[in-house]
Structure 1
Amino acid sequence: MTQCPHAAGGAVPLSGPRFQTEPAQLYREIRRDHGAVAPVVLDGGLPAWLVLDYRELHQVTSDPVLFSRDSDLWNQWENVPADWPLLPMIGRKQPSILYTVGPRHAERAAMIGNALEAIDPFALKRFAEEFADELIDRFCSKGSTDIIADYAMLLPARVLARMYGVSDADGDALVGSINDMIDGRERALAGQQHLAATMLGLLADKHAEPGDDVATRMLADPGGFTDEEVMQDLMVMMAAGHQPTADWMGNSLRLMLTDDRFAASLSGGRHSVAEAMNEVLWEDTPTQNVAGRWAARDTHLGGRHIRAGDLLLLGIAAANSDPQVRVDGSALTGGNSAFLSFGHGEHRCPFPAQETAEVIARTGIEVLLDRLPDIDLAVAAERLTRRPSPWLRGLTNLPVVFTPTPAIGGRT
């Protein structure tokens, strides 16, 4: 059995309620006690390193040769059980863009980028508006709802499903599976299997009847990708496009409903929506920690000896609040986008995917505020809770009240 590199070094469990209740304080304490690179333990007792500081994270993501995305390098595979719930997040021999390196990765990235860039931006916004109106119609006459379950958790999947070529019914059914897979708990593997089956079905449909959609364009790419490769990449795109966007919406609305600085947006101001979304990417980013990179050889990072095959987790939220970068602790709104919430380097979130997420999230927030201008929290802010995941940070619910209004209907 491979020896744990920090079995007796006071490693921090990458689990527990503080990742939900007070992550910023937790990351400060880890940095204080362990420095820029901290020993952590994943579920099942598996060791890893958490990269907390901005400079070190930038270094790791800028050197794909030394800090590889090839998960086969991991020196702990012999200790990983077949039913490990984090396998969907830290997979082995998954032929997706997440774990492809070198020239083939560049080809995969180009294929995905081209398929997404071909989306008509006006159609994207129109679909987002229409689906947003349809969802709001379901609850607008009631005077109260849970914004997470009834709106934010549904809108991104619906829009992405339409753009990718998935039926509306299958898009709705994917929401729970994606959430289960990303949370990395007991239902993670089942969620991954359902997502894979849906994407395989989509590709079979598009072979039989091509359309003006992302899946068809990926199948037609001249790079010679197999259906398995396209399916794996569609899984990544759906999961990475839906859940973080839903959490971006929820976290931004929470900020706007609890912080007086954003009160103007609730009466029609538009600049505050963009500012709230930007601040969330600094202060409350949906993507908290990312797995990961693997050291191709022995090296040093942040004063730590990293062995060949060690797993490094990217501490996105911790790096965004690095005191060496955030000297005054300010919120840094107003367009400053030096955050690492979309990653960095050749494996960062593709720019067309970032644009798609921003259009969906911002449109969803703006339509909601237009339709329900007096929306307000139905509970005290301190009663809001987060999902139990160290990877993505999102609300479990966001109960609100508002003046009942009639449905507009018939627009979709």
Structure 2
Amino acid sequence: MSRHPSLPGEGLVPPPGCPAHGMNDAGLYRLPEAQNPSALYEQLRQQYGPVAPVLIHGDLPAWIVLGYRENLDVMRTPSRFSRDSRRWTAFKENRVAADSPLIPMVAWQPLCVFADGEEHARQRAAVVDGLAQFNRRGMRRYVTHYTRELVAGFAASGTADLVRDYAEPLPMLVVSRLLGIDPQDGPALVEPTLDLMRGSATAAASNQIVTQTLEELVARKKLHPGNDLASRLISHESRLTDTEIVEHLRLVLVAAHQGTVNLIAHTLRLVLTDRRFRGHLSGGQMTLPDALEQVMWDNPSIGIVPGRWATRDTMLGGQHIKEGDMLLLCISAANVDPEQRPDLSVPMRGNRSHLALSSGPHECPGGDIGRAIADTGIDELVALLPDLRLAVPETEIGITANWLTSRPSSLPVRFSRPRSLGGTEVTAPEPATGAQPLPVAASAPPAVPAHTPSIPKQSWWRSLLGR
């Protein structure tokens, strides 16, 4: 049995045949340096079992939770595993550098993901109620509008990178508008939001850009409220402070954007490269919503969630966890736990018991929004460009992976250049000059503007399969 990770190295030796890269002298893996995270998780599982010691930025010790059951145990028992990062021993001992890339993700902030009990319930209620005002039908119309706008921007060239030109901007255009951000400000937040999750040296600066934008939003919405999340948080009976409002808007923006980007990118990669996947869709064995659930099993948008902190000495997965230890919830490893999925070739159609959206009191409240953006966006994209095909060999599709997330680096595609979309000549769209009404449950969903193309309802999955 390995010893407590607060003293890395004692009693630990590298596994036989293990490469030295990404390890310290005592044989503990430095998680952010892993070149192949999935392979590392399985190696750790074989060596330590469902819970393993690792090192994170600054050679700080932590436990990575690999097992499905063990992840559920941590997620569902806040009395043993708190979300309050002020419990972390490394914080108490001043071992976390002020400029550490961990700070934007794990430093305590006044929001629901760092709270437990009554305080968590108070803050979370405001977010849940705020998100509940957006109905799914209205959301689909909203996604449709921005999808057509993006496609019109690159359709004339007959080529595109579906990650850079589509998967990254679409969720930000939609989510930022749901928050109440002006249309012209949304695109500028794409790169800072992605950078936050990379754990890069610029993460703190990116966090400041996002925070400043949201502080300005809250000040504006106090004077001019609307049908948006910012206005709802301001007026909610939970009486959130200004700081709490900004932090919760940041949480929703970063989580919804990052998660949906990865979900769209992974699904499009399968559509373009996996004949069996396309065959199941075109043959009716699997719907697009089912396909999204399969992707969330195999390629969850957030691979690791930091973190939880032990409230007392306890046991988990055969390891002695001490009070104040950090735990990293490894969703990627839990979703492929051999005890849960002994045969990974068996499809998980319609099965929502994956952990991509967490579980327990901190389960993601905006999962349906991410699903709606991905479902509608992919459906609309391939209907507009039914002969999408990769512009490079499948083997050249790289994966951008870090210790928290992974997704295709790019998806270069070609397609027949349409002369027009719905009778409108294909040209780059004019910049938006005014805000459209948001799709809220209390009113009719916004109509798709007349100049955007109509969608022919055809079997585009069959056209993909036919290629």
Q: TM-score, normalised by structure 1?
A: 0.94
Pairing 1:383–2:396 present: yes
Corresponding position: 1:323 with 2:325: no
More helix by share: 1
AA partner of residue 41 (structure 1): L
Distance in 2, Cα, partners of 1:106 & 1:330? 39
CA pair 306-138 structure 1, distance change in 2 beyond 3 A: same
Contact 2:161 2:411 in 1 (8 A): yes
User: Which residue in 1 is equivalent to 2:437?
Assistant: none
Q: Which residue of 1 aligns with 2:89?
A: 75
Q: Deviations over 1:251-273 (max 9, x none)?
A: 00101111111335887979442
1:330, CA displacement in angstroms? 2.9
Corresponding residue for 1:32?
Answer: 46
Q: Which residue number in structure 2 is paired with residue 150 of structure 1?
A: 165
The change in CA–CA distance for 1:363 and 1:265 in structure 2 (over 3 A counts) is farther
Aligned residues: percent identity?
Answer: 37
Aligned to 1:112: 127
Equivalent-residue separation in structure 2 for 1:54 and 1:193 (angstroms): 35
CA distance in 2, matches of 1:107, 1:218: 12
1:96 maps to 111
Q: CA RMSD in A?
A: 1.9
State the one-letter code of the partner of 1:360: I
Q: CA deviation at 1:372?
A: 0.9
Shift of 1:357: 0.5
Q: Distance in 2 between matches of 1:322 and 1:267?
A: 29
Which residue in 1 is equivalent to 2:214?
199
1:112, distance to aligned residue in structure 2 (A): 0.6
* 1:323–1:388 Cα change, 3 Å: closer
Distance across 2 between alignment mates of 1:45 and 1:229: 31
Q: Distance in 2 between matches of 1:267 and 1:298?
A: 52
Shift of 1:214: 1.1
Q: CA deviation at 1:145?
A: 0.6
Counterpart check, 1:312 vs 2:327: yes
User: Which of 343, 366, 377 is matched with 1:364 structurally?
Assistant: 377
Letter in 1 for 2:104: P
CA distance in 2, matches of 1:192, 1:45: 23
> Matched residue of 1:156: which SS?
helix
SS state at 2:342 partner: coil
Letter aligned with residue 387 of structure 1 = T
1:210 is aligned with what amino acid?
Answer: P
Aligned residue identity for 2:385: L
2:28 aligned partner, one-letter code: A
Asked if structure 1 preserves the Cα contact closer than 8 Å seen for 2:357 and 2:364, the reply is yes
Q: Which segment is superposed worse, 281-290 or 67-76? A: 281-290
In terms of mean alpha carbon deviation, does 25-34 or 298-307 score higher?
A: 25-34
Q: What does 1:11-410 align with in structure 2 at a 5 Å threshold? A: 11-19=28-36, 23-77=37-91, 78-92=94-108, 94-264=109-279, 271-350=286-365, 353-408=366-421, 410=451
Is the CA contact 2:286–2:349 (under 8 Å) kept in the aligned structure 1?
A: no
Task: Tell me how far 1:17 sits from its aligned partner.
Answer: 4.9
SS at 1:328 equivalent? coil
| Residues 256 and 276 in structure 1, CA contact (< 8 A), matched pair in contact too | no
Partner of 2:452: 411
- Counterpart CA distance in 2 for 1:63 and 1:392 is 25
SS at 1:7's partner residue? coil
Tell me what 1:4 maps to. Answer: 6
Query: How many angstroms apart in 1 are the aligned matches of 2:287 and 2:415?
Result: 20
Native 8 Å contact 1:68 1:294 kept in 2 = yes
Aligned to 1:282, the other structure's residue is in SS state helix
Instruction: Report the CA distance shift for 1:406/1:202 in structure 2 as closer, same or farther (over 3 A).
Output: farther
SS of 1:314's equivalent? strand
**Contact 1:284–1:317 (8 Å) recurs in 2:** yes
Query: Does the 8 Å CA contact 1:268/1:373 hold for their aligned counterparts?
Result: no
After superposition, the C-alpha distances for 1:268-321 in whole angstroms (9 at most, x for unaligned) are 979442233121111111110000000011111111111110000001010000
Q: Deviations over 1:219-260 (max 9, x none)?
A: 000111101001000000000000110110000010111111
Give the Cα separation in 2 of the matches to 1:137 and 1:270. Answer: 32
Structure 1 stretches of 5 or more lacking a match?
A: none
**Distance (whole Å) between structure 2 residues aligned to residue 272 and residue 375 of structure 1:** 19
Give the letter aligned to residue 174 of structure 2. Answer: V
Q: CA deviation at 1:123?
A: 2.1
Displacement of 1:388: 3.9
Question: Distance in 1 between the 2:282 and 2:76 partners?
Answer: 43
User: Which of structures 1 and 2 has the bigger CA Rg?
Assistant: 2
List per-residue Cα deviations over 1:319-364 (Å, max 9, x = no partner): 00000000222343320111101001101101xx111100001111
Q: Which amino acid aligns with 2:137?
A: F
Tell me the SS of whatever aligns to 1:294.
Answer: strand
Distance (Å, rounded) in 1 between the aligned partners of 2:161 and 2:420: 17
Whether contact under 8 Å (2:74, 2:81) holds in the other structure is yes
